[in-house]
Amino acid sequence: MIENIFPTSIGVEWFEDHHLYEKQLTKKCLKLEKEVPIGEPWLQNNTYNTMGSYDISKDSDFDPITDFITQKVKDYCIAMGWWIGSLNPVPRYPWFNVYRKGDYQDYHYHANVLFSVVYFLSSNPTIGARLFVRSPITDCLAPSIANHQWENDDRFFYAPDPGKAIIMRGYVEHAVEQHGDDQPRISLVYNYRLAEDKQHEGRLLGPSSVSSRS
């Protein structure tokens, strides 16, 4: 018998009403790209983003997607057995990215964040740049892989299907491969942090720090 201990669990959710908002919000993001200064510089600083320059949680046009994401993060917490009271349900300064042909993003993680969510707003899912996630474990002596599967690979990718949300812990490193399509790839990014006034309480009321099976 093989048991998966210390797994890296990724949430994958689909917004059924995405088709109602994709065209409108895509048009709005492309308009804002021309009007709003680029946000904080990244490792690949040509990629347009509104991190720190435009908070989409303050824009009611994004509310249907923001509300969907927040609910799915709560569901993810519950499914993983985490105390929901430790989550601040208000996303911290979410933003959008516009990847144009040639743009990419190297591996990085989001510091001081419980959960990070990438939501694909608009892209060609067949040739649009994929989102890669990497194992937090560095295997310095990895065996040769005969059959690639989740349990033995050190990275995995997700196609940018519009309406799909990828939920991960803040420490999970992720990257975007070089975008090779003439159609822009637009994604929304949400970060969720600890409920600051309940950090200590959450650790006291949560389960013990060691789990066991007999």
Which of 88, 135, 92 has its CA nearest to residue 111? 92
In the sheet where 185-192 sits, what is the strand order?
A: 11-14, 164-169, 115-122, 185-192, 95-99, 48-49
Residue whose entry in the numeric block shows the structure tokens 């490193």: 173
Residue 118 resides in a domain: yes
Residue 20 resides in a domain: yes
| C-alpha to C-alpha distances, 122 to 53, 88, 117, 134, 202, nearest whole angstrom | 21, 28, 15, 24, 37
What are 35's two structure tokens?
């009007």
State which residues form the domain around 78.
Answer: 11-137+149-205
pLDDT, one tens digit for every residue, the chain (214 residues):
888 788 889 999 999 999 999 999 999 999 999 999 999 876 666 899 999 999 999 999 999 999 999 999 999 999 999 999 889 999 999 999 999 999 999 999 999 999 999 999 999 999 999 999 998 888 787 788 888 877 777 889 999 999 999 999 999 999 999 999 999 999 999 999 998 744 444 443 444 444 444 4
Residue 3 resides in a domain: no
Residue 133 resides in a domain: yes
Secondary structure percentages of the chain, helix, strand, coil, to 5: 25, 25, 50
Residue 6 resides in a domain: no
Residue 212 resides in a domain: no
Residue 162 resides in a domain: yes
Report the domain count for the chain: 1
CATH number at residue 94: 2.60.120.620
Q: What is the pTM of this model?
A: 0.89
For 139-182, the pLDDT digits (tens) are 787 788 888 877 777 889 999 999 999 999 999 999 999 999 99
Residue 2 resides in a domain: no
